[in-house]
């Protein structure tokens, strides 16, 4: 495997472990929705190990799918964090103008509304790792056409 793939896989592993640690330290498991990123991170950890050890086509295909889930989880998490902050601001001051509510919700410290974007970044990192992976070429999986 070329050095760049090893570096991408290592970066993915480091970030998966770091984000999972952060979510556990912040007790991001109070309800079912909060368990989704932890579950995805756990699956990603196992996939990184599987890819490092086997580099099989199956592991790369599953990596692609899980990384797409990461890309989707980011905006979904941003929505949930923002919604929670907005509801808190509305309870605090129901008569506040909508723009003020938005500004306060987007600047909130807990939960940080844009933090779930890290999931999307990890998803893209994993998809870059899997892009035109050599194990897929050996199995006849269609690859993007190279332009001349």
pTM confidence score = 0.86
What is the C-alpha separation between 110 and 32, in angstroms, rounded? 18
> Alpha-carbon torsion 123, 2, 135, 144, what sign?
positive
Give the domain ranges of the chain: 3-138
Q: What is the pLDDT of residues 76-108, one digit of tens each?
A: 999 999 999 999 999 999 999 999 999 999 999
**Does residue 148 register a pLDDT over 60?**
no
The tokens for 113 are 């509304």
**Does residue 144 register a pLDDT over 70?**
no
- Closest among 1, 98, 118, 12 to 54, alpha carbons compared: 1
How many Cβ atoms from other residues are within 10 Å of residue 28's Cβ?
Answer: 20
DSSP category for residue 48: H
H or E stretch covering 13: helix 3-25
- The mean pLDDT value for 115-129 works out to 97
- Say if residues 104 and 90 touch (Cβ distance below 8 Å): no
The pLDDT confidence band at residue 110, using thresholds 50, 70 and 90, is confident
């Amino acid at each position: 495997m070329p050095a760049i793939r090893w570096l991408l896989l290592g970066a993915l592993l480091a970030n998966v472990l770091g984000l999972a640690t952060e979510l556990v330290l912040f007790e991001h498991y109070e309800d079912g929705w909060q368990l989704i990123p932890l579950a995805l991170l756990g699956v990603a950890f196992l996939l990184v190990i599987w890819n490092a050890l086997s580099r099989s086509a199956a592991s790369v295909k599953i990596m692609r799918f899980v990384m797409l889930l990461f890309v989707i989880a980011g905006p979904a998490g941003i929505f949930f964090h923002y919604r929670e902050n907005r509801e808190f601001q509305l309870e605090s001051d129901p008569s506040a103008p909508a723009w003020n509510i938005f500004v306060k919700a987007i600047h909130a410290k807990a939960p940080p509304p844009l933090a779930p974007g890290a999931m999307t970044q990890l998803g893209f990192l994993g998809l870059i790792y899997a892009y035109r992976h050599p194990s897929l070429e050996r199995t006849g999986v269609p690859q993007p056409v190279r332009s001349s």
